[in-house]
């Protein structure tokens, strides 16, 4: 596990997993604490018609771009941390 590229990919995967875990936990929390508003039910009909049963409709390309962005963020964090560690130890 000496290869920095391999390590950076692992950090990117960790970022993606943490992001999706937070999304799932937030969705579970919002679902658990949802209280329907009977008086204002007709004001949100148009908004709700554009949703699917389990959230917004995403294209597969959007998911690929989202995952790639998370991986890139993890790679940037890893190499920044590595660079700063090298700079600090040389002083």
pLDDT of residue 28: 92
Confidence of residue 3 (pLDDT cuts 50, 70, 90): confident
pTM of the prediction? 0.66
Residue 2 to residue 11: CA distance in whole angstroms: 14
Q: How far apart are CA 79 and CA 74, in angstroms?
A: 9
Domain ranges of the chain: 4-35+59-90
In the chain, which ranges are E strands? none
**What burial class does residue 78 get, using C-beta atoms within 10 Å of its C-beta: 0-12 exposed, 13-18 middle, 19+ buried?**
buried
Enter the tokens of residue 39: 């008086």
Q: pLDDT digit string (tens) for 11-49?
A: 889 988 999 999 999 989 988 887 777 666 666 555 555
């Amino acid at each position: 596990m000496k290869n920095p590229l391999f390590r950076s990919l692992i950090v990117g995967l960790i970022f993606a997993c943490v992001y999706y875990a937070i999304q799932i936990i937030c969705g579970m929390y919002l679902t658990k604490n949802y209280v329907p508003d009977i008086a204002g039910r007709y004001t949100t009909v148009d908004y709700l018609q554009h949703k699917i049963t389990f959230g917004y409709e995403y294209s597969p390309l959007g998911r690929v771009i989202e995952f790639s962005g998370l991986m890139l963020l993890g790679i940037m964090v890893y190499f920044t941390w590595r660079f700063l560690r090298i700079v600090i130890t040389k002083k």
